[in-house]
Chain A
Amino acid sequence: MKKRTAGRKALYVILVVYAIITVIPFLWALSSSFKTLGEIVSGSINFIPKEFTLDNYKQIFTREPLFGRWLFNSLFIATVGTLLNLLFNSMAGYALARLSFPGKKSIFLMILAVLMIPFQVTLIPNFLILKELGWLNSYQGMIIPGAVNATFIFMMRQFFINFPKEVEEAAAIDGLGRFGTFFRIVLPLAKPALAAQTIFVFMAFWNDFMRPLIILSDQDMFTLPLGLNSFKGQFISFWNYIMAASMVFTLPIIVLYAFFNRYFVKGIKFTGDK
């Protein structure tokens, strides 16, 4: 028994130390966002601001009237993009896991191969294709090329491979066709996997920097990372503003995560679901 508690203590030490390591950068950024420029420049190290101020947050919203618009663009692109991903990736993953058809193996290998191509390879050709479609500087230009994600096709395939066949067979007996089974039975049962995907895909859209930088040219069309960057450009030494903007930028994702957290770990399964 004693040994057990000693082991537990050791585990707690690991967990707490690592939690501190994880949290400190955020606390430091948060604390900097409440400091005055004078305190930032003086280079003193203290987590509690000597002169607590909310001015940095006020400034970023008043000095940047487009902030709300950027927030909307980011939310819109990320939300629609995520919905499309959920649908398309699940369908593809399901087909690769459950249905047999000629060429399945090569299609699967192709999708795996797509994962390995650095996106810089396709960046310029992609850009030229969007130009031909007239989709530059548009929402669809941001959403459609990212509406499918090879990683999550792969993940959904793993999920469906371990999905109990009996459920589908029962559905088939009830007279549901393949698509009915998929949309009415399979997808609802795949909620945990979809929740995990939601967070990852939403994050990918939300945080994407390189693609919007190239595709979007109107300030009205900017997403938040571009906005943050333009903000950084304007206030190079104003770490207090930069940190405040960084915090505002991070908040929505944390809220989303808190919301989906309950499904989260359950969703990322590679070896079966119970």
Chain B
Amino acid sequence: MRHTKWLSAIGVPSLVLATVLSGCGNDNGKEETQSGKTEIVLSGWGGNPTEKKLLNEVLSDFEKEHPHIDVKLNTISDQYMDVLKTRLIGGTAADVFYLDAFEAPALIETGAVEPLNKYVTKEFDLADFEKPMLDAFKEGEKLYGLPKDYSTLALFYNKKMFKEAGIKEPPKTWEEMEAVAKKLTDQKKQVYGLGMLPQIERMYYMAESQDGQVITDGRATFADDKVVDAIQPVVDMHIKDKTAATPSEVGAGQSAGEMFGRGNAAMVMEGNWNIPFLEDTFPELDYGTAELPTVNGKKGTMSFAVGYAMNAESEHKKESWELIEYLTGKEGMKKWTSKGFALPTRKSVATELGFDQDELRGPLVSGAEYATVWQDGPTLPIVMNNFNNQFLSAYLGDRPLKEALKDAERQANREIKVTE
């Protein structure tokens, strides 16, 4: 008697368990796609809703042309790289995924990314790509990704503020910009000449403009005087001239675009993404763009490239390549970049779409030629994190730049050592 009760007591929980398990079992698991279609999964970060819609259109075009393939878009809108890495470990990562050039070297090192050389055909025309963007996804001769789009940084300026201050045209040199910023600043109204994100990704080209190296042989070397001197003007504008500020100082969080849109900054150095953002959020704003001011007479800017990469463990490599081939091919890229959310990495598409003639995008396109690609080996993410952390304390005037960067350099190198 007792025993039956015992059993029933154990039976209840296990029954519940079993029900749950079987109940959910039906609900998930990758359904074999009907009618012999192959399903491949594509992962990227969110982007704004219009951009997402555009991507969906491009994907359905692809499906029409490739009726045997079903593409499933799987967006990872936050902590993209962390989630991607976790899914690569778990074997649940997408077949094709976005890969930021800056993160590429470290991920390529692990062997999780499929080399694409063997898939690329003559007709695909690799030579059509902007070389620096293509090189960003190469390791030696091996190609691990194809750049889908890019953006450089340009100087966005508020036309109304410039007019009111009697300034006729955007500054061409750093010194001119400093002078102009003084005229534009009105601290009482929380208006600054320049809105600046105190981050190395925005000024890498400046840091290396005096032949200093931020990273040498995988080790941080940015406390070098050549680097410190080169970026000192950025700090001075904030603490000496008080003509520059960060977005968070005027309540715009981490978005220089928002700071600019709200009229808290007369100038910001932003990329192509800022154009649709301003259009959506601040449609009334009257602004222009120009190439970034020269530093020591030299033109410079950053370029940020994003590519498509293939999961080395994908079970549908052939189909995955067909997708990459389409998305980075002339037709797919043209459609993707046609609305101007991003700039095409193929020269032929750029010419056809005529962004170099575009009033707002022209300066961004011109920058491509001399831009520094935001990438510097597998240790860059660590170097970036440590630099940004300590640079901020110098930017806020808590300590001299040299001292802060020395600390940051030591910390970065210790952290790199930890990873070895």
Contact = CB atoms under 8 A, between A and B. Distances in A.
Interface string A102-126: 0000000000000000000000100
Contacts of B75: 219, 230
Contact of A214 (B46, B86, B255, B277): B86
B46 A138 contact: no
Interface string A16-55: 0000000000000000000001000101000000000000
Contacts of A9: none
Given A88-B13, A230-B77, A138 B24 contact: yes
Contacts of B87: 217
Contact of B49 (A127, A214, A234): A234
A124 B88 CA distance: 12
Given A87-B13, A88-B13, A143-B20, A136 B281 contact: no
A61 to B, nearest CB: 14
Interface residues of A, number: 43
Contacts of A183: 9
A207 interface: no
B74 to A, nearest CB: 6
B13 A137 contact: no
Given A84-B16, A233-B46, A137 B28 contact: yes
A15 interface: no
B50 to A, nearest CB: 10
Nearest to A59: B49
B47 A234 contact: yes
A180 interface: yes
Interface in A210-262: 213-214, 217-219, 221, 229-238
B214 to A, nearest CB: 28
B418 interface: no
Nearest to A237: B258
The bracket for how many chain B residues form the interface is 35 or more
User: Would you call the interface of chain B mostly helix, strand, loop, or mixed?
Assistant: helix
Contact of B28 (A37, A180, A218): A218
Nearest to A124: B89
B281 A37 contact: yes
Contacts of A199: none
A179 B45 contact: no
B92 interface: yes
A217 to B, nearest CB: 5
B106 interface: no
Interface string B20-34: 110111011100000
Contacts of B258: 41, 237
Nearest to B3: A177
Contact of A236 (B17, B21, B74, B255): B255
A140 interface: yes
A252 B13 CA distance: 27
Contact of B2 (A137, A140, A177, A234): A177
Given A43-B251, A87-B13, A177-B2, A136 B90 contact: yes
A263 interface: no
B385 interface: no
B24 A139 contact: yes
Contacts of B83: 213-214
A179 B78 contact: no
B89 A139 contact: no
A234 B92 contact: no
Contacts of B92: 131, 136-137, 217
A265 interface: no
A83 B16 CA distance: 9
Contact of A140 (B8, B20, B48, B74): B20
A233 B9 contact: no
Contacts of A230: 46, 75, 77-78
A75 interface: no
Given A80-B20, A139-B27, A229 B91 contact: no
Interface of B: 1-2, 5-6, 8-9, 12-13, 16-17, 20-21, 23-25, 27-29, 45-49, 52, 74-75, 77-79, 83, 86-87, 89-92, 251, 253, 255, 258, 261-262, 277, 281-282
Given A91-B13, A139-B28, A218-B28, 12 more contacts: A41-B261, A84-B16, A131-B92, A138-B24, A139-B24, A140-B25, A218-B74, A229-B77, A234-B47, A236-B255, A237-B258, A237-B277
